[in-house]
Chains A and B, each alone.
Chain A
Amino acid sequence: MATITERTKSEVKEIVYSFFAEECEADIEQINDNTSIINDLDGDSLMFLELIEIFKKKYNLDIELKVIGKYAVKHPVATIGQLIEMQLLIIEHENRLMELDK
């Protein structure tokens, strides 16, 4: 189980903001934690999956997409802030993510 430092939080936030700014062709200055991924950015779950792949590589995570899929259905993400929180939980708990619900 990884420890989430302030540096990790800041890295994750930066990657998520940059990713959505590029992928949704939006101005990064207009994105904040309350930005709705679907309504404001026209984003979708494919982007979410690609971000997971980026974080898997960056932090060498042992996490199956299936586990994230199950967690995401139970804890739907609507905003950029919620997505960052979920990414941090994934980095922290990896394949033990579902144990958070027990």
Chain B
Amino acid sequence: MISIKKVGIIGEGKMGTSIFFYLLDFQFELVWFCSQDADIEKLTRQLERRIRRLFDSGSIDQARYDKLIQTSITTDIDKLQDCDLIIEAIPEDIAEKKKLFHQLDKIVNPEAIFTSNSSSINPSCMMPKTAGNRQFAGIHFFYPVPLKDIAEVTLASSTTALTCTIIESFLNTIHRRYIILDEQNSFILNKIFLDFQNEAFLFVHNETCTYYQMDQLVKNNFFPFGVFDFCDSVGLDTMLASIQNYSRDYPDKSNYALFIARLTDLVAAGKSGVKTLQGFYSYPMEDITSNDPEHALEIIEHLRQTWLSSCERFTALSSVATDRMNHAIKEYFGIEHGPFEKC
């Protein structure tokens, strides 16, 4: 069985950066492949400062310092050729991902495993037709990686048991717990939340409450974050692409039509959330004072039933053991008690 010694991380966005810096704490050789738009010199200075601080604080010894300082941050794709594992984390654009993997397949060691951190596109959709026996899988980390002790592993039908074992071993080495999913049941945690987000949106759409009132209800009764501030933080363009990908094969996809339409309008207006300073809210956020909406208890109860029902349905579909799903759901939502434990 090949062991993972050299890891290539692709993409300098939030996830790519978070994965790269998290992996620095482990004994891999790393290559960080960035887009032509990336400021490589700035990223390299950032890395050097981080390594120096690790050394100064005694967290790493001289040998590790000497190795880490050789870490390559590059726009030269050829530097990935002898990697054992590739983790792609570029934006959610299927055409771009396909193009990238096609290019990688010609360059990178044929034994290397290709993985994607995509939050909505299955690995088989990104594989080039010419990939032959190349092994593909999804490893979906959550942001910020050091704080979210969970990853979703998605296996394509062509992913072998050996590849799965290697990925499991890699995740154990980097101290991440995981759930293993097939492509029909991939991205299960986001899908559970999507049902909740959609129901929350419909309450606002029907003028039962405002976005802010809904977020306050959610924060006070469910999760540490609201539905709409979460969307703004992730980026509404990313949310829209993900929801379109998830709901494409749903028999009940019309249930999501209004939410998708609203996201489409906001994105078309250049309002993609925090990064554009406008989304469901405007940023920086002003202080808003607001009371609970009428029928708050009914709204809470409806959302609670929606959430529990989604947790149960998706867990049953995925065949993931209940205790693993319970942990995954707790990590994802940042809550003390999961849906499958008695409080």
Contact = CB atoms under 8 A, between A and B. Distances in A.
Classify chain B's interface size.
20 to 34
Nearest to B147: A69
Given A25-B42, A69-B334, A78-B284, A46 B219 contact: no
A76 to B, nearest CB: 9
Interface stretch (B29-37, B49-57, B184-192): B49-57
Contact of A44 (B17, B42, B57): B17
A45 B18 CA distance: 9
Nearest to B331: A66
Most chain B CB within a 10 A radius of its CB, from A50, A54, A57: A50
Interface string B7-34: 0000000100110010000000000000
Interface in A50-79: 50, 53-54, 57, 65-66, 68-70, 73-74, 78
A36 B42 CA distance: 20
Nearest to B145: A46
A22 B334 contact: no
A73 B144 contact: no
A22 B49 contact: yes
Interface in B44-71: 45-46, 49-50, 53, 57, 59
A70 B224 contact: yes
B177 to A, nearest CB: 12
Contacts, number: 44
B219 A74 contact: yes
Given A44-B17, A54-B57, A69-B334, A49 B147 contact: yes
B147 A50 contact: no
Contacts of B144: 45-46, 49, 69
Interface residues of A, number: 22
Nearest to B277: A39
A61 B49 CA distance: 23
A72 B170 CA distance: 29
Contacts of B59: 53
A49 B24 CA distance: 14
A9 B343 CA distance: 39
Interface string A1-40: 0000000000000000000001101000000000010110
25 contacts: A25-B45, A36-B284, A38-B274, A39-B284, A44-B14, A44-B17, A45-B143, A45-B144, A46-B18, A46-B21, A46-B144, A49-B144, A49-B147, A50-B50, A53-B57, A54-B53, A54-B57, A65-B146, A65-B147, A69-B148, A70-B224, A70-B334, A73-B225, A73-B334, A78-B284
Interface of A: 22-23, 25, 36, 38-39, 44-46, 49-50, 53-54, 57, 65-66, 68-70, 73-74, 78
Given A53-B57, A69-B334, 12 more contacts: A23-B49, A38-B274, A39-B284, A45-B144, A46-B17, A49-B144, A53-B59, A54-B57, A65-B146, A68-B147, A70-B334, A78-B284
Q: 4 closest pairs, A vs B, by CB?
A: A69-B147, A73-B224, A74-B224, A45-B144
